[in-house]
Amino acid sequence: MGKRLPNPRLAKIHRNYTVEETANLYEVHKNTVSNWIKQGLAVCGKKRPFLIMGRDLRVFLEAKRVKNKQPCKPDEIYCMRCRAPKKPAADLIEYKATTATLGNLVAICPDCESIMNRRVSLAKLKQMPCYLSITQSLEELHITECINPSVNSGLNIGEEHHA
């Protein structure tokens, strides 16, 4: 399983870093930093010890982050296990409300069969034609929304229990 890219904002733009300092800053191995240099991270000079400008480090890591982004289309949900946007299996999607205006779309990945989640606002959800057949989880439906709510509480008031 691959690791997340480090936060580019940890590097101070007016500071120089050695390979070891960069590795300690981002909690990676120094070979990882050497690989970044091979991938295009600018260094000062041609001789060791290499110095890396904080500004160059930040720009390099931000560019790596942008390159690795995979935006989802309106009818896709990102699968964390496959690391790619996917259309839900059999187009079955469930909406679970978290607040009155926000909720999560929950679906199953067609390839690895793991659970996929996507945060969506209820207003945008109603505007997307690809999500017209979404089912709402029954746990969010409140009893006051029922026309004839059940008054059966399971208590037997007035009846004696014989042991």
14-71 confidence digits (pLDDT tens): 999 999 999 999 999 999 999 999 999 989 888 888 899 999 999 999 888 877 777 7
Q: Which two tokens stand for residue 83?
A: 């690391």
**CA geometry: angle 63, 68, 70, nearest 5 deg:** 130
Domains and CATH numbers, the chain: 8-68 (1.10.10), 77-141 (no CATH)
This prediction has a pTM of 0.50
- Among 82, 78, 73, 86, CA closest to 130: 73
Handedness of CA 67, 68, 70, 71 (dihedral sign): negative
Query: How do residues 124-155 score in pLDDT, each as one tens digit?
Result: 777 666 665 666 654 544 555 556 666 665 55
| Mean of pLDDT values over 67-93 | 80
Supply 130's token pair. Answer: 């690809």
- Residue 3 has a pLDDT of 62
pLDDT given for residue 158 in this prediction: 56
106: β partners:
94, 117
